[in-house]
A and B are shown apart, each in its own frame.
Chain A
Amino acid sequence: MNGPELLARFTAALLPLVCAPALLGIINRTKAVFAGRVGAPLLQPYYDIFKLLRKGAVYSGTTTWVLRAGPVIGVATTLVALACLPLAGLPAPLSFAGDFILVAYLLGLGRFMTINAALDTGSAFCGMGASREAQFGALAEPALLLALAGLAWLTGQWSLSGIYAALSYETWSVAAPALGLITVTLLAVLLTENSRIPVDDPNTHLELTMIHEVMVLDHSGPDFALVEYGAALKLWLTGVLLTGVAVPALTGNPWVNMLLALAALFALAVAIGCIESMMARLRLHKVPQFIAGAGALAAMALLLALEH
């Protein structure tokens, strides 16, 4: 490995840590433009996180270390998962056969700790959100794994770095239906995992409808900053899984590829903003159907991939 390539890989590994909150800013700005408002600055998520980091934290008397561990473990698991994630055709720092299963379960572990922290507060309100998160998460996980298994079978690679390096426009030309279905599934998984419309509304604070927001209501100060940062990282992670399929690495130059991948991610954020502006949240009992439908598409993609 020579110097410039090492530098490119180093940058690709650091990029999510710096740029992830910007995705949230772009989504919010898109929604503001749709609604005819000026909207918050694009860097508002960064300001929020720094503001929260400077504040003190308040802990209720009924909580234990579980509440404090929740956000830390949430961010830590997402960071490890990000270490397995290649960007723009550059191999990830951590790569081995079957690492996508580790990524899926790291996401699951982070979710488990967030749920535990919500239950630890002893509030019925947080418990309600935790129950919903557990239900929808359990449905989204098979959809994600089926989609990744389809990709693995299509490319004949068993690590995320291998899969995403092998994807190209030739893969699209021979297996467009399967890849199209996988893209749609990954979009649905992204919307579910990040609690966006039509699964959950990140803006609402109405108790009957909230999922993610209600779980983290009792976090404050630096803990809440970690929650927000973790949410941004998770959005980046699921976004890269999606854009890596939809927009494979084009050129041989890693820097150009990285810029293209970044542009694709920002375009995805705009698309999410458009979806949120144009769609209403689904009724709660319709959400499992939405996620099961995504799983059905992934299963079909896997069947198509097996036929190839």
Chain B
Amino acid sequence: MLRGWIEFDALLVVLTALAILGSGRLKFVNHLVAVQGVIVSILPLLVEGVDMPLRAAFLTALTIGLKGWTFPHFLDRAITTSGLRREPQPVVGYTAGMLIGLALLGLAAHLGGRLALPMAAPAPAAVPAALFTMFAGLFLIVSRRTAIMQVLGYLVVENGIFVFGTAVAPGESFLVELGMLLDIFVAVFIMGLTILHLSRTLDTVETDRLQRLRERGRALGDGR
């Protein structure tokens, strides 16, 4: 197993997550999430590439195709349609977000060291990185107001889960992994469509403004 490379890969995952927390431009964050998706996709190849090369290669290729190409393109279009270039008013600013990210990183490192895993993990170095990525994604979801950023946060959480699964349980059933990827695909598809419809009918993708239910007959846009 390529221990040094796994550590390097985990480090890149953490760095991209920190960069995602520190930026507000929607397309840039979308590209960063795509880059992170490609970085996490390489992990199966590093962890089990020697034992099960065909399986790992297929999984890596499929994940890169989804996370590095399909999702970014789809969300890119959603961002273009929404006409929004950057997150208008984040709940927590970017510098503060990055510092909170550091605190989360410390927490993840602490927890990663203490976490009792049910079986011997092949890549324990990636566990803190996986926890941090999940935390960062959750933080992104609660601290940003636009639906697009929240979808991106969801994808970051998913990247963290992917790293965790690869690092802790590499031998899990192929069907389970394919099912997970299908779930994410459907989820992102639905969320992307929701964003498109939101921006078309309501002229906004800020979830803060979606608080009151109205009947369809009245003007939908004046909820703002």
* B window 91-142: CB within 8 A of A: 94-95, 98-99, 101-102, 105-106, 109
In angstroms, Cα B98 to Cα A299, docked, is: 12
In angstroms, Cα B94 to Cα A288, docked, is: 10
30 contacts between A and B (CB under 8 A): A176-B4, A176-B8, A177-B7, A177-B11, A288-B95, A289-B22, A289-B94, A289-B95, A289-B98, A292-B95, A293-B18, A293-B22, A293-B98, A296-B18, A296-B99, A296-B101, A297-B15, A299-B102, A299-B105, A299-B106, A300-B11, A300-B14, A300-B15, A300-B18, A300-B102, A300-B105, A303-B105, A303-B106, A303-B109, A307-B109
B98 touches A296 (CB 8 A): yes
Interface of B, secondary structure class, is helix
Across the two chains, which residue of chain A brings its CB closest to B109? A303
A296 touches B109 (CB 8 A): no
CB neighbours (8 Å) of A300 from chain B are 11, 14-15, 18, 102, 105
Measured CB to CB, the closest approach of chain B to A202, in angstroms, equals 25
Known A-B contacts A288-B95, A289-B22; A296 and B102 likewise in contact (beta carbons under 8 Å):
yes
Chain A interface, number of residues (Cβ within 8 angstroms): 13
By size class, the interface of chain B is 10 to 19
B7 touches A292 (CB 8 A): no
* B window 10-24: CB within 8 A of A: 11, 14-15, 18, 22
In angstroms, Cα B105 to Cα A304, docked, is: 11
Across the two chains, which residue of chain A brings its CB closest to B108? A303
Across the two chains, which residue of chain A brings its CB closest to B113? A307
Across the two chains, which residue of chain B brings its CB closest to A177? B11
Q: Mark A195-234, 1 if CB is under 8 A from B, else 0.
A: 0000000000000000000000000000000000000000
Measured CB to CB, the closest approach of chain A to B103, in angstroms, equals 10
In angstroms, Cα B102 to Cα A293, docked, is: 10
In angstroms, Cα B101 to Cα A288, docked, is: 16
CB neighbours (8 Å) of B106 from chain A are 299, 303
CB neighbours (8 Å) of B95 from chain A are 288-289, 292
In angstroms, Cα B102 to Cα A296, docked, is: 6
CB neighbours (8 Å) of B99 from chain A are 292, 296
CB neighbours (8 Å) of B102 from chain A are 296, 299-300
CB neighbours (8 Å) of A293 from chain B are 18, 22, 98
